[in-house]
Amino acid sequence: MRDFLLDDAARRLRAEVGAFFARELAPRAAAIEADGGFPAVREAVRATGAAGYLSLLLGEHHRTEDTGVADPGLVHAAIVSEEAAALSYAFESTIATSLSCALPLRRHATAAVRAAHLGPLARGEALGAICITEPGVGSDSAGMATRIATDAGTGDLVVHGIKRYISNAGVAEVYIVYGISDTDVPAQRGMTAVVVPGDAPGLSFPRSYTMMGRRGCVVGEVALDGVRVPADHILGEPHAGFRVMVGMFNLERILLGGAGLGLARAAFDIAREHARSRHSFGAPLGAKQLIWERIAELSWRLDAAELLTYRAARAHDDGCEGKALMREAAMAKLVATQTAVACADAAVQILGGDGLTKDFSRAEQLYRDARAMPIVGGTSEMAKYVIASRDLPDLHLDL
């Protein structure tokens, strides 16, 4: 049963958002994929912000009259991610990254920094980016080489480092940058998160990557060469960036659950329709036992992904945060993104030759897009580590 965990208000929002994206995103989606056109993505972001769908997590910046949701939260934001990714994962990645920047700003930034950035992000007039991954560091944030120091004379924060695989690099107006501010203690107690405006001197973008999928989502490098920001641009407290990061990862992973679910549903619909309409050896393809079983497996995977994603989102909205939410967020991301890969792979396989070409379906695009999902936002392997570490808290993994 779809939407089993949603209340009536959330179901109404889904219908509203689906109709909105059919009008505003679907006409642009083909061009975004064909041309890798970021201007079309930016137009869709502005329209989505103007409609109120980028402010669902932003409290005072949320306009109830635009969405009809009086008490919005992560359940509603996950619905937006799901409906967006069904049409364009490149677009969904762009707005989800921005949301992953906006919520930590709302929770941890000073009033002045919030005032400068949250309104434009909520309205879709600006984009945000999160800077964690480095050339030598992925999931192991303890090895981070970026350094954040305090200028004793001015009190400014000075940032040196380079980040890579950053969504919205070079097109965002605000960046949350993580770096080590105290090298004498473990990284979890010596990391700081700072807010860097997109026009800060010393901030540059050495390259944009050509990715396998997500055409239209800008991904690249962010270099910080002595970037200076005022002391009030710290998120939370000095050396407390790891706590900010945990909350941000929970949000990002639950939104990835929504995105994985949306892409998986799009691929499943293609596979199911082909199985029903294509005839082989005198019978519908779906009547063949191997295809029949494959459809059944994808169906239960979709339900499992939905239940885990919206369980985690509801837990967040009920006040579960930080380390208490890590397991549920990791499960949502793990299962939904692996389901997206399974559904996309099945769609290509069931369509056969038609699945390998752009001429007859979106299957090959969904296959390329889906493959990023088990990697971004923390790999599937990292998600399994997080899950097991909560279930076996008295044990340490023997690497």
CB 95 within 8 A of CB 83: no
SS3 150: strand
What six digits make up the tokens of 111? 């009033």
Q: What is the dihedral of CA 161, 165, 171, 176, to 10 degrees?
A: -50
Query: Is the CA virtual torsion 114, 115, 118, 121 positive or negative?
Result: negative
State the CATH class of domain 242-391: mainly alpha
CATH number assigned to the domain covering 8-122: 1.10.540.10
| Domain edges within the chain | 8-122, 128-239, 242-391
Long-range Cβ contact pairs of 179-182 (< 8 A, separation 24 or more):
179/144, 179/146, 179/147, 179/148, 179/241, 180/144, 180/145, 180/146, 180/147, 180/148, 181/147, 181/148, 181/149, 181/150, 181/238, 181/239, 181/241, 182/239
Report the DSSP beta bridge partners of residue 39: none
Residue 151's CB is within 10 A of a number of other CB atoms, namely: 11
In a 13 Å sphere around the CA of 132, the CA atoms on its Cβ side amount to: 21
Instruction: Give the contacts of 66 (CB within 8 A, at least 6 positions apart).
Output: 51, 52, 53
Global pTM reads: 0.93
Q: Is CATH 2.60.40.10 the right assignment for the domain spanning 128-239?
A: no
Same topology between domain 128-239 and domain 242-391: no
pLDDT in tens, the chain (399 residues): 578 889 898 999 999 999 999 999 999 998 888 877 888 999 999 999 999 999 988 877 777 677 767 678 999 999 999 999 999 999 999 999 999 999 999 999 999 999 999 999 999 999 999 999 999 887 777 789 999 999 888 989 999 999 999 999 999 999 999 999 988 898 889 999 999 999 999 999 999 999 898 999 999 999 999 999 999 999 999 999 999 999 999 999 999 999 999 999 999 999 999 888 877 776 777 777 888 899 999 999 999 999 999 999 999 999 998 889 999 999 999 999 999 999 999 999 999 998 899 888 899 999 999 999 999 998 999 999 999 988 888 887 765
CB 350 within 8 A of CB 291: yes
